[in-house]
């Protein structure tokens, strides 16, 4: 029985998405352009208004000064309307004449005659002076209220455009990017659903032959090349393992017979090395065939039978728990999975260390716990320890990956970590015999096409 977790489509967070980054870039560009153009326009506008204000002030001062200089000019003409402030100051700096509203008395000193910007009665005033013939100096000022109000209005408009324009650009850019990149997003969703254990499927191409079309077409060509390369690698690996399996089986059997006949410790160690190589070829065969290409051969075996196998394969293992019951499993595959866990534990613990295998069985679950007295798992590896060719103890890196694959084929799993008391601990769980009624009849499964050499090595 094989249980496989459902593949879930990985969604990209909005702040990490390409369309958001593009919209953000466009918004920042829009902000820069709006700010530069707005500052330039406001500067020109305010400069023009300032020049118009100065021209108006100078014109009024010239007209009034001309009337004081040329008394005959303008006789019978109506004087211009009085706007702003006007003060006639004599040569001693005293007020000779002032416009209404200033509250200045004749003969009163007027020290502001040389000041061109000041506040009168709480109003900002800009002023100029002119010679008034023999009457002294004419001081003419105009209030800047309107000019200041216009400047503030222009700055507020600039600030509002700097805030609103990027926000609108961000929203519009995100919406436009979402529509423009919709094909790419759909392709990413489909690529997420590709199962690497199956034949790789190509991605559908959009109707419009744009950059997205070119990218997806290139990805499809890459997928075809990857699938062809995987097929060649799998075929080559299977051929190599098959060629190695038979000689290793003969070598292992010969060394075992020689060890039994002579009792030589060196021959016994050589037989163990042959065992190691045999199981490595089995791991490679498992990797080459993949989980979907293999079927389990179910048997109900006594737990003692499994214990005997493992005791011969990994000597020095301490067996704990209750081994008097029975287990529904593929004996060869389960032996291979547990042997890999025990071999890794023995390698980590060393010759003087301890390795234990604890069996806990319930009607719903069979739980094997492998614990060693070694240094434990490297914390930086995490779940990567179950990936092929990733090893934290100098091994081939296939054992844990194959053990998890076999557990998944049984409907269980393998988890690993460090024990609180020190050392590493791996737990392999498979469904208990009580769940066997819901499984397919083992006789209906049929025997799988296994490598004879690999099966001979797995069975004691």
Q: Give the Cα separation of 284 and 236 in Å (integer).
A: 11
> Of 117, 113, 114, 126, which Cα lies nearest the Cα of 58?
126
Expressed as residue numbers, the domain containing 382 is: 299-438
Q: What DSSP string describes 192-258? A: HT--TTSPPPPPPPPSS-SHHHHHHHHHHHHHHHHHHHHHHHHHHHHHHHHHHHHHHHHHHHHHHHH
Buried b (16+ CB within 10 A) or exposed e, 50-87: eeebeeebeebbeebbebbeeeeeeeeeeeeeeebbbb
Is residue 275 included in any domain, yes or no?
yes
Domain end position, chosen among 292, 321, 341: 292
Least confident of 11-25, 311-325, 422-436, 438-452: 438-452
Q: Are the C-beta atoms of 9 and 190 separated by less than 8 Å?
A: no
Q: Give the Cα separation of 144 and 138 in Å (integer).
A: 19
Q: Are residues 259 and 358 in the same domain?
A: no
Q: Are residues 373 and 304 in the same domain?
A: yes
Is residue 392 included in any domain, yes or no?
yes
Q: Give the Cα separation of 131 and 290 in Å (integer).
A: 105
Q: Are residues 229 and 359 in the same domain?
A: no
Domain end position, chosen among 276, 292, 308: 292
DSSP state of 94: B
Q: Which two structure tokens, joined as six digits, stand for 286?
A: 């498992």
Q: Are residues 318 and 287 in the same domain?
A: no
Q: Give the Cα separation of 421 and 444 in Å (integer).
A: 46
For the chain, give the number of residues: 460
> Of 86, 134, 75, 148, which Cα lies nearest the Cα of 113?
86
Buried b (16+ CB within 10 A) or exposed e, 267-297: bbebbbebbbbbbbbbbbbbbbbebeebbbb
Is residue 213 included in any domain, yes or no?
yes
Q: Which CATH number do you get for residue 239? A: 1.10.287
Give the DSSP H/E element, type plus range, for residue 425: strand 424-431
Residue 85 reports pLDDT greater than 80: yes
Q: What is the separation, in whole angstroms, between the first and last Cα of the chain?
A: 25
Domain end position, chosen among 235, 264, 292: 292
Axis-axis angle for helices 182-192, 145-180 (nearest 10): 40
> Of 444, 430, 251, which Cα lies nearest the Cα of 331?
430
Give 398 or 434, the one with higher predicted confidence: 398
Q: Are residues 336 and 238 in the same domain?
A: no
Is residue 308 included in any domain, yes or no?
yes
Residue with tokens 């049929």: 446
pTM higher than 0.85 for the full model? no
Residue 342 reports pLDDT greater than 90: yes
Q: Are residues 431 and 307 in the same domain?
A: yes
Is residue 157 included in any domain, yes or no?
no
Residue with tokens 């989980």: 291
Q: Are residues 432 and 330 in the same domain?
A: yes
- Mean pLDDT for the chain? 77
Give the DSSP H/E element, type plus range, for residue 369: strand 365-372
Is residue 93 included in any domain, yes or no?
no
**Which pLDDT score is estimated for 391?**
61
The average pLDDT across 112-119 equals 84
> Of 84, 193, 72, which Cα lies nearest the Cα of 133?
72
Cα angle at 83 between 77 and 84, to 5 degrees?
A: 135
Give 445 or 233, the one with higher predicted confidence: 233
Q: Are residues 336 and 412 in the same domain?
A: yes
CB-based contacts of 288: which residues, under 8 Å, 6+ apart? 234, 237, 238, 241
**Which pLDDT score is estimated for 448?**
40
Work out the pLDDT band at 186, boundaries 50, 70, 90. Answer: low
Residue 215 reports pLDDT greater than 50: yes
Q: What are phi and psi of 133, to 5 degrees?
A: 60, -130
**Which pLDDT score is estimated for 82?**
52
Residue 447 reports pLDDT greater than 60: no
Give the DSSP H/E element, type plus range, for residue 397: none
Is residue 208 included in any domain, yes or no?
yes
Q: Are residues 323 and 429 in the same domain?
A: yes
Quote the strand ranges of 42-105, DSSP E.
85-89, 95-98
Q: Are residues 313 and 284 in the same domain?
A: no
Give the tens place of pLDDT for each residue, 405-429.
889 999 999 999 898 888 899 999 9
Is residue 234 included in any domain, yes or no?
yes
- Residue 413 forms beta bridges with which residues? 429
Q: Please count the structural domains in the chain.
A: 2
Q: Which CATH number do you get for residue 431? A: 3.30.565.10
Q: Give the Cα separation of 187 and 210 in Å (integer).
A: 14
Q: Are residues 273 and 338 in the same domain?
A: no
Q: Are residues 364 and 414 in the same domain?
A: yes
**Which pLDDT score is estimated for 430?**
95
Give the DSSP H/E element, type plus range, for residue 190: helix 182-192
Q: Give the Cα separation of 67 and 78 in Å (integer).
A: 12
3-state secondary structure of 118: strand
Q: Are the C-beta atoms of 336 and 282 separated by less than 8 Å?
A: yes
């Amino acid at each position: 029985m094989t249980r496989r977790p459902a593949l879930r489509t990985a969604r990209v967070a909005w702040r990490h998405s390409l369309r958001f980054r593009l919209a953000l870039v466009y918004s920042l560009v829009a902000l820069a352009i709006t700010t530069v153009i707005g500052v330039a326009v406001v500067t020109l506008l305010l400069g023009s208004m300032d020049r118009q204000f100065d021209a108006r002030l100078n014109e009024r001062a010239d007209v009034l000064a001309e009337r004081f200089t040329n008394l005959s000019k303008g006789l019978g003409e109506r004087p211009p309307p009085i706007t702003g402030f006007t003060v006639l100051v004599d040569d001693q700096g005293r007020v000779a004449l002032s416009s209404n509203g200033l509250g200045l008395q004749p003969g009163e000193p007027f020290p502001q005659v040389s000041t061109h910007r000041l506040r009168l009665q709480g109003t900002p005033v800009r002023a100029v002076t002119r010679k008034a013939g023999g009457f002294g100096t004419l001081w003419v000022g105009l209030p800047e209220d309107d000019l200041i109000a216009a400047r503030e209005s222009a700055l507020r408009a600039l600030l509002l455009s700097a805030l609103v324009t990027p926000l609108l650009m961000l929203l519009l850019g995100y919406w436009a990017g979402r529509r423009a990149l919709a094909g790419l997003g759909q392709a990413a969703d489909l690529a997420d659903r590709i199962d690497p254990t199956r034949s790789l499927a190509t991605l559908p191409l959009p109707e419009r032959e744009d950059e997205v079309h070119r990218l997806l077409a290139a990805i499809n060509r890459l997928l075809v090349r990857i699938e062809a390369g995987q097929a060649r690698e799998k075929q080559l690996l299977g051929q190599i393992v098959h060629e190695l399996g038979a000689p290793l089986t003969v070598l292992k059997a010969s060394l075992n017979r020689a060890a039994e006949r002579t009792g030589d410790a060196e021959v016994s160690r050589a037989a163990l090395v042959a065992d190691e190589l045999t199981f490595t070829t089995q791991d490679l065969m498992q990797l080459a065939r993949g989980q979907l290409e293999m079927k389990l051969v179910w048997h109900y075996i006594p737990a003692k039978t499994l214990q005997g196998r493992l005791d011969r394969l990994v000597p020095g293992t301490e067996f704990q728990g209750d081994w008097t019951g029975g287990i529904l499993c593929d004996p060869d595959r389960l032996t291979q999975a547990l042997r890999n866990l025990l071999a890794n534990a023995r390698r980590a613990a060393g010759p003087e260390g301890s390795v234990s295998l604890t069996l806990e069985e319930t009607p719903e679950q069979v739980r094997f716990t492998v614990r060693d007295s070694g240094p434990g798992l490297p914390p930086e590896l995490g779940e990567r320890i179950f990936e092929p060719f990733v090893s934290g103890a100098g091994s081939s890196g296939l054992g844990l990956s194959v053990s998890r694959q076999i557990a998944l084929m049984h409907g269980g799993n393998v988890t690993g970590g460090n024990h609180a008391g020190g050392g590493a601990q791996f737990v392999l769980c498979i469904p208990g015999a009580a769940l066997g009624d819901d499984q397919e009849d083992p006789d209906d499964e049929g025997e799988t096409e296994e490598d004879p050499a690999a099966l001979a090595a797995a069975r004691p």
